[in-house]
């Protein structure tokens, strides 16, 4: 096993996330307070919260939580769900279970770093890049060309972090069939599902389309509740699900009981929370459109198809790395430069930065950003 590299995003955030005055690159939707979340609880879950004891919980996750999660799928039931301490643990454990040194994986880029580096620590990996010149389209034929006889996993993420792109449902269905025909597990990161700009483009969940596919989700992103640290994988392959549980015995063993009750409340109120968060993004996007229109000589802007992050191009002569460093140091506005998303597998655009569009009241951050840009003109 190869030693994992530093996690560039988390290293960068450890320096700036809680010290920068304006966190303009947040990847999660607007969060809520404890009181706001508890106000969404039904009588049963409020009683469970008020009478909760702090013992160990089941490794698979609280049965009532898993039942609530299963209710968000068409074909999965509670026994097809296993909960984790966030999406990161779920991704890590799944790759440890699915891949060995003689195996091969295909990973779509750009992506959340561990989607690439964890498989790379275990086996040979081929990258397939989204095409920035075609609105970050995925060429399924390139995925086909990347497959080998020993390919065990194809890993995708839509809506994509950091680009905010979606693929068509027909292409997604073709990808699922392609994996099933070859005995490959499709690992589908769906953490931004529910925040599509056009709800008619919402993709089906992979676990609903295939018994072999794994659907990854979490309370952190679309629901805006990262502090709960509750993620999950839905997969109808019961033998694989058992292997995931046994692997979890070596990581967190079980989740925090308070988080599981609160996550249960959130999942049951999912549609109300998503409606709220979609409305925030819809109100924010014209503000971002206007901002980037004012600085058209410096940026190429494209609103995300889904999720709450976008990946604009920076056109300035100083380069995006220096630009982002100067911006946070001089104006206190935090963005993520393209170097955070560089890939060992594919060529990666070096002139992009991630910006978040899912938080309330982005105007003060954009005002500080604009003032700094004008002072440099």
Three-state SS sequence of 210-226:
CCCCEEEEECCCCCCCH
- Domains of the chain, by residue range, sit at 8-31+272-376, 34-270
Number of neighbouring beta carbons within 10 Å of residue 18? 9
- Please compute, for residue 53, the number of CA atoms within 13 A of its CA located in the half-sphere on the CB side: 3
Confirm or reject CATH 3.40.640.10 for domain 34-270, answering yes or no: yes
Cβ–Cβ < 8 Å for 84, 93 = yes
Q: Which helix (H) or strand (E) holds 300?
A: strand 299-300
Element (H, E) at 104: strand 104-109
On the CB side of 325, CA atoms within 13 Å amount to 8
CATH code linked to domain 8-31+272-376 = 3.90.1150.10
Per-residue pLDDT of the chain (377 residues; tens, 9 = 90+): 578 999 999 999 999 999 999 999 999 999 999 999 999 999 999 999 999 999 999 999 999 999 999 999 999 999 999 999 999 999 999 999 999 999 999 999 999 999 999 999 999 999 999 999 999 999 999 999 999 999 999 999 999 999 999 999 999 999 999 999 999 999 999 999 999 999 999 999 999 999 999 999 999 999 999 999 999 999 999 999 999 999 999 999 999 999 999 999 999 999 999 999 999 999 999 999 999 999 999 999 999 999 999 999 999 999 999 999 999 999 999 999 999 999 999 999 999 999 999 999 999 999 999 999 999 98
């Amino acid at each position: 096993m190869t030693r994992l590299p530093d996690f560039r995003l988390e290293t960068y955030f450890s320096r700036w996330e809680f010290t920068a005055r304006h966190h303009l690159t947040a990847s999660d939707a607007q969060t809520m307070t404890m009181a706001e979340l508890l106000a969404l609880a039904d009588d049963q879950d409020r009683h469970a919260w008020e009478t909760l004891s702090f013992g160990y919980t089941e490794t698979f996750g609280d049965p009532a939580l898993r039942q609530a999660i299963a209710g968000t799928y068409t074909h999965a039931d509670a026994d097809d769900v296993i909960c984790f301490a966030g999406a990161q643990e779920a991704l890590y454990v799944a790759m440890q279970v699915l891949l060995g040194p003689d195996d091969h994986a295909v990973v779509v880029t750009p992506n959340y770093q561990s989607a690439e580096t964890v498989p790379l620590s275990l086996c040979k990996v081929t990258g397939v890049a989204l095409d920035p010149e075609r609105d970050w389209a995925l060429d399924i034929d390139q995925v086909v060309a990347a497959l080998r006889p020993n390919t065990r996993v194809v890993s995708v993420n839509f809506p994509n972090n950091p680009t905010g792109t979606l693929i068509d449902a027909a292409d997604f269905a073709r990808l699922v069939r392609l994996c099933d025909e070859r005995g490959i597990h499709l690992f589908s990161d769906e953490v931004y599902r529910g925040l599509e700009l056009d709800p008619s483009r919402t993709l089906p969940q992979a676990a609903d389309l295939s018994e072999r596919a794994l659907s990854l989700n979490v309370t952190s992103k679309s629901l805006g509740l990262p502090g709960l640290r509750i993620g999950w994988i839905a997969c109808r392959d019961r033998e694989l699900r058992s292997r995931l549980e046994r692997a979890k015995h070596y990581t967190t063993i079980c989740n925090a009981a308070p988080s599981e009750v609160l996550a249960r409340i959130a999942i049951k109120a999912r549609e109300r929370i998503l409606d709220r968060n979609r409305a925030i993004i819809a109100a924010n996007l014209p503000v971002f459109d206007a901002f980037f229109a004012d600085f058209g000589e410096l940026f190429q802007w494209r609103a995300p198809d889904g999720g709450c992050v976008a990946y604009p191009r920076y056109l300035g002569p100083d380069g995006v790395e220096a630009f982002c460093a100067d911006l946070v140091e001089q104006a206190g506005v935090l963005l993520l430069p393209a170097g955070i998303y560089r890939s060992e597998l594919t060529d990666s655009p070096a002139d992009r930065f991630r910006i978040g569009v899912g938080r309330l009241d982005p105007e003060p951050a954009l005002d500080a950003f604009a003032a700094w840009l004008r002072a440099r003109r």
